[in-house]
Amino acid sequence: MGLKFCKYSALGNDYIVIDPLICQANLNAENIKRICDRNYGVGSDGILYGPEFMDGRISLRIFNPDGSEAEKSGNGIRIFACYLKEHGYVEGSEFDIITKGGIVHIFILDSENSRIKVDMGTVSFLSSDIPVRGAEREVIRERMAVNRKEMWCTCLTIGNPHCVVEMPGISKETAKELGPLLENNGLFPDRINVQFMEVIDRNNIRIEIWERGAGYTLASGSSSCAAASAAFKLGLVDRCIKVYMTGGVIEVEISENGHILMTGSVDAVFEGELSSRFEKSLL
């Protein structure tokens, strides 16, 4: 049997699901890079490997296209929740998934499993939690100079690290220029996801995204949550925010208890199987 997979998209952020209960995969860094490659492989923004079970609970591993492992992915979690529901691993409309970045609670909102809400947990702006080098502090609107450009950055973790840059007139070109410089800045020992944010009004923001280990991305669930949380912390928005991205819109609600609720869509794309020749070429 060849390596079977399912491909899904969440607002243009696409992931491959590989189910270890169907096919075991040797997901070392080089194999992940080859499978995710858009010219020589299947093509995706990452691989979701699961379900695996921990004390009877479902867990998920998330891999970036550069071969590194991610702690959490909002879009990936919604996709995986859809996969679990469609393949009979869960019953009912609410369940939990364990990620490296913490436990998330899932709400399936429609009968087609295409609209899903996720309780992503709480955020921290503390430098030691993110992490960000330097004195212990909340990293709020700190000045950074990158590529001769001055910018104001707010950093946080929602199970994975984010740097939110306030910037009017954001663009794909700016994200591609400055994103990799911020991702790999020495201030961030584990690298960092970057969002360039423009506030539209009290309930709407727009972002361009540079993801750690993936590069420029059309949409991101955790990035939407991070940008909305930063804007709320800065007093720029209210608790219910629509986050506009190139790939579409995600709704974020910041609850009174500090939990971040993210709602967005998922689309199944196709099921496939790697050719025997391609599979033999993997390490």
Q: Is the pLDDT of residue 281 over 90?
A: no
Average pLDDT over the chain, rounded to an integer: 96
7-62 pLDDT tens trace? 999 999 999 999 999 998 899 999 999 999 999 999 999 999 999 998 889 999 99
- For residue 283, name the pLDDT band (cuts at 50, 70, 90): confident
154-208 pLDDT tens trace? 999 999 999 999 999 999 999 999 999 999 999 999 999 999 999 999 999 999 9
Q: Is the pLDDT of residue 84 over 70?
A: yes
Q: What is the mean pLDDT of residues 222-236?
A: 98
- For residue 89, name the pLDDT band (cuts at 50, 70, 90): very high
User: What is the residue whose two structure tokens read 């699961």?
Assistant: 50
119-147 pLDDT tens trace? 999 999 999 999 999 999 999 999 999 98
Cα separations (Å) of 32 from 76, 123, 166, 200, 253? 16, 29, 33, 38, 34
Q: What is the mean pLDDT of residues 259-272?
A: 97
Q: State residue 213's pLDDT score.
A: 96
Identity of the amino acid at 45 = D
- For residue 1, name the pLDDT band (cuts at 50, 70, 90): low
Q: Is the pLDDT of residue 90 over 90?
A: yes
Which residue segments constitute the domains of the chain, with CATH numbers given?
4-120+266-281 (3.10.310.10), 142-258 (3.10.310.10)
Structure tokens at 44: 């995706």
Identity of the amino acid at 93 = S
Buried b (16+ CB within 10 A) or exposed e, 10-33: bbebbbbbbbeeeeebebeeebbb
